Structure 1
Amino acid sequence: MMDTKEVLEIALHSLQRIEHSLKEIEANSKQTDSDVWHTKRADNQKVTVLIRCNIISVGDIDTVKQEFTTEIWLSAIWKEPTLIGKNREEVIWEEQWHPRLVFTNAISVDKMETKHHLYEDKDSDDGIPYAAMNFRLKATFKEPMELYDFPFDCQDLTIRIMSDWPDTDVQFKKNMSIKDSIRIDTFTGAQEWDLHKHVISQAVDEDRELTGSHRKYPMYHITAHVQRRIGFYLWNVALIMFLIMCMTFASFSVDPFEPADRLSVTLTLLLTSVAFKFVVSQSLPTISYLTILYKASQKEMKAANQKYQELCQQINKTWTENMAKRQQRDEEKTVKYEINYVENDHHEIKRKKAKRSRVRPNESKDGKGLGRLKDPDRRRHDGDHSESTERQSKSQSAEYNIPI
């Protein structure tokens, strides 16, 4: 037989085991910190959420990454029947219904503060108070930029808000009691952009074709506008490209008979334009269309290429004309030399004939009764030489059509 002490020890040990098992069951069934449970409204009514915002500051605007940084204050209020007759301190806000706002285009959130308030509706007699959820948010947002008119572009900086409740449960509207605002004095990108003083806030319809969702969710956009300052790009890009294009005309100052020098000037300027275009492309994201600056660069490169082609054509034309003129001059010099040579030869022949026809001492003055030469062989030799010279002169005159 066991005594009472042993029975109590066995019972205590069993109770400890049961307690340990219950703790394990509780730990396994307990929700983790990441689990969030959202309960629908008991009345199943569609809630209208009024949105009001104040853009406190707009920070860096990155054109290449297509991002911008901003700090905003956002208020979302709605009527809450379950809070009738309660004070703010009496409400457990973690257990209350809220619109589940999500900033869809936020890349990173640096700071976010959330506060809840309770307001009385003075314009209504139903006594239902307004529950307010206020956000103080500093984050970086993604914004696709339209750069067709770069650097004369105007960009929309949009903060996109969505509710995780479908549009059958929640709808967004702008709070018309107080206007939305934006602070200009805190804008840090004033050296590159002009920030406009207005804010456009509106509820938008979600496009199912773009989202691919089987349900529609309410969307709300808050948009600020900035205008790019063109001074930097005008003086550092456009002016330099214009000067490079104007320098293409310097190739016409080089002697046309030195085509290598002329082509080297044009090709150097063309390569300079291409290199400068790559430098400018570092200020823009990778886009599939041409901006105004790119179009201007393309036109300048096209003009330089056209000047290069015109220069080549002019060099070829000048070279051909000069070669034709040189050949014509050479032909004229050859003909003139041959004519002078024939004329000189003709004069020489005439001079020799005149010399031979002179009256010799043993001949009469009238040419009658000419005595015989002392050397008959010499006379025959002179006659043969005169006949051969005359035949040669006639053949040369017939060749060049020169009358003798």
Structure 2
Amino acid sequence: MIHKFSYSVSLLLISVVTMVINTSVYANPSGSILDNEEATNQKNYKVGITLTALRDIDDAHSTFYADFYISISWYEEGCAKLAAGEADRSILKTEEAWETVQNPHIEFINAYGSEDSHIQDADLIVHNNGICTYSFRYSGLFRSHMDLRHFPFDHQKLKIIIESSELGISMLRLVPGRFNDIENLKLMTPDLPDWEIDGVSFDEGIGEYPYLEDSETSYSRLTLTVDVTRQYNHYIWKFLLPLVIIVMLSWTVFWIGPEQLESQMQVSISCVFSVIAFNFITAGQLPRIGYLTVLDLWVLLSYIFVSAGTIENTISHYLISTGRKDFAEKVDQWSRILFPVAYFILIIIILIRSLMLN
């Protein structure tokens, strides 16, 4: 009898332990969706994102185009009921879809334009273990702040910001899931000829809206950030180097006799007009910003040195007209050295400062 009693107790303990394990598995089958959930109304929603296209980075409008798939998974008792005994079941098109299951109301804070028109292939899958998975494809423009102080040697952060439009942080917490690593992202997004992808991250944060009249002013937020660096070779060969050549051409007036003011002025004015034309070309590529970029400083410096050459010509001609031809020739000789040295030193300082701060 004792042996039978011991055997019965052992079977009972094994059954209890098995039931506890099964309960914990179904409560948190992914091992991460319910991590850190407290005894509150807050639910953890695990978000995964896969970028399939990234292109059309527009400096003038601070926008870029992105195409990606997104999936949101969470545990909810109603999901197991809706599965109706099946391993998984698609219910998005059924009337009971968002009646029994809590809609996370996901939105993209920095999306440009209407979001509904960009959502495709939406689906809601319920599993018999209580997990809901809502997935869809999204494509469209996004706004992202761009610091252009170091243009064209700049580094930018392209961000996709995800929040719930209705559920505050007391009800919903977004947890980062899978996303593209840098190598996969480079393979998936070949349409960035002007940019080099340096890194990618998917971080959790909080969006604060203190001006809201609702009791809830904090919202869980996820931010996918793609770090990109501009390929500046194009700007060096087509903008910066031609500017340097124009400025160097303006220095040829120092070798023209100071008495030939008309010839000197023709060269100087032609160089000034060339720099102005370059300024008009580059101005259309950037937004109206309240600070100078590296390219702006380069153009401004070119303006100054070309204009200074014109002023030097006038001074030399004035010295000749007052009978000081020897001194006028010395001014030209000094200018042949001082102008190039000063110009290239300032250019080097601008480049070093930009590279160090960037």
Is TM (by shorter chain) over 0.5?
Answer: yes
Secondary structure at the counterpart of residue 320 of structure 2: helix
Give the gaps of 5 or more residues in structure 1. 1-42, 121-127, 326-404
**Residues 51 and 188, structure 2, Cα contact 8 Å, conserved in 1:** no
Partner AA of 1:98 in structure 2 = N
Counterpart of 1:104 (choices 103, 109, 116) is 109
2:305 corresponds in structure 1 to 303
1:291-330 Cα offsets, whole Å, 9 max, x none, are 11111111111111222222222222233234799xxxxx
Q: How far did residue 111 of structure 1 move?
A: 4.5
Q: Is the 8 A contact 1:60 1:188 kept in 2?
A: no
**Structure 1 residues 308, 93: CA separation in 2 closer, same or farther (over 3 Å shift)?**
same
Does structure 1 residue 202 correspond to structure 2 residue 195? no
**In the alignment, residue 133 of structure 2 is paired with which amino acid?**
A
**Pairing 1:130-209 to 2, within 5 Å after superposition:** 130-164=131-165, 165-175=167-177, 178-181=178-181, 182-196=184-198, 198-208=199-209
Name the CA distance, whole Å, in 2 between partners of 1:55 and 1:119: 26
**Is the 8 Å Cα contact of residues 47 and 169 (structure 1) preserved in structure 2?**
yes
- The answer to whether the 8 A contact 1:107-1:142 is kept is yes
Match of 2:49 among 33, 49, 53: 53
| TM alignment of 1:177-256, pairs within 5 A | 178-181=178-181, 182-196=184-198, 198-208=199-209, 212-214=211-213, 215-256=217-258
Q: 1:187·1:195 contact (CA, 8 Å) conserved in 2?
A: no
Name the stretch that deviates more: 257-266 or 182-191: 182-191
Unaligned runs of 5+ in 2: 1-38, 328-358
Q: Would you say 1:93 and 2:124 are equivalent positions? A: no
Kindly name which structure, 1 or 2, has the bigger radius of gyration based on alpha carbons.
1
Separation in 2, partners of 1:263, 1:117:
77
Counterparts in 2 of 1:90 and 1:224: CA distance versus 1, 3 Å: closer
Decide whether aligned partners of structure 1 residues 324 and 152 sit closer, same or farther in structure 2, where only a CA change above 3 A counts: closer
| Deviation per residue, 1:108-159 (Å, 9 max, x gap) | 4545221112347xxxxxxx62211112111111222211111111211111
Matched with 1:113 is 121
Are the equivalent residues in 1 in contact too, given 2:196–2:228 (CA < 8 A)? yes
Q: Which amino acid aligns with 2:221?
A: M
| Distance in structure 1 (CA, Å) of the matches to 2:179 and 2:108 | 21
The code of the aligned residue for 2:139 comes to K
Q: Residue 144 of structure 1: SS of its match in structure 2?
A: coil
Matches within 5 A, 1:5-404: 45-84=41-80, 86-87=82-83, 88-89=88-89, 92-95=96-99, 96-108=101-113, 109-119=117-127, 129-164=130-165, 165-175=167-177, 178-181=178-181, 182-196=184-198, 198-208=199-209, 212-214=211-213, 215-322=217-324
Tell me how far apart the structure 1 counterparts of residues 226 and 297 of structure 2 sit (CA, whole Å).
28
- Give the C-alpha shift of residue 82 in structure 1: 2.6
Counterpart contact for 1:49–1:76, Cα < 8 Å: yes
Aligned residue identity for 1:213:
L
Residue 71 of structure 1, CA deviation: 0.9
The 8 Å contact of residues 47 and 171 in structure 1, kept in 2 or not, is answered as yes
Describe the shift of the 1:119–1:83 C-alpha distance in structure 2 as closer, same or farther (beyond 3 A). closer
Identity across aligned pairs (percent)? 19
Q: Displacement of 1:44 after TM fit? A: 6.7
Q: Is the 1:51–1:75 contact (alpha carbons within 8 Å) kept by the matching residues of 2?
A: yes
- Measured in 2, the distance between the counterparts of 1:137 and 1:208 equals 25
2:155/2:229 contact within 8 Å kept: yes
CA–CA distance in structure 2, aligned partners of residues 90 and 232 of structure 1:
50
Q: SS at 2:133's partner residue?
A: strand
Aligned residue identity for 1:216: S
Contact residue 78 and residue 130 of structure 2 kept, 8 A: no
Taking a change above 3 Å as real, the CA distance of residues 174 and 315 of structure 1, as seen in their structure-2 partners, is same
Q: Distance in 1 between matches of 2:226 and 2:247?
A: 38
The C-alpha deviation readout for 1:307-364, integer Å capped at 9, x for no partner, is 2222222222233234799xxxxxxxxxxxxxxxxxxxxxxxxxxxxxxxxxxxxxxx
* Post-superposition offset of 1:283: 1.4
TM-score by length of 2: 0.69
Q: Name the CA shift for 1:76/1:287 in 2 (closer, same or farther; >3 Å).
A: same
Distance in 2 of aligned mates of 1:90 and 1:249? 75
Aligned equivalents of 2:143, 2:53: Cα separation in 1: 16
Conserved? CA contact 2:119–2:136, under 8 Å: no
TM-score by length of 1: 0.62
- Structure 1 residue 281: Cα displacement: 0.9
CA distance in 1, matches of 2:282, 2:137: 38
Counterpart-to-counterpart distance in 1, 2:321 and 2:292: 40
CA offset at residue 81 of structure 1?
A: 2.2
Structure 2 residue matching 1:113: 3-state secondary structure: strand
Q: 1:113 to 1:90 in 2, by over 3 A?
A: closer
Partners of 1:57 and 1:184 within 8 A in 2 = no
How many pairs align?
271
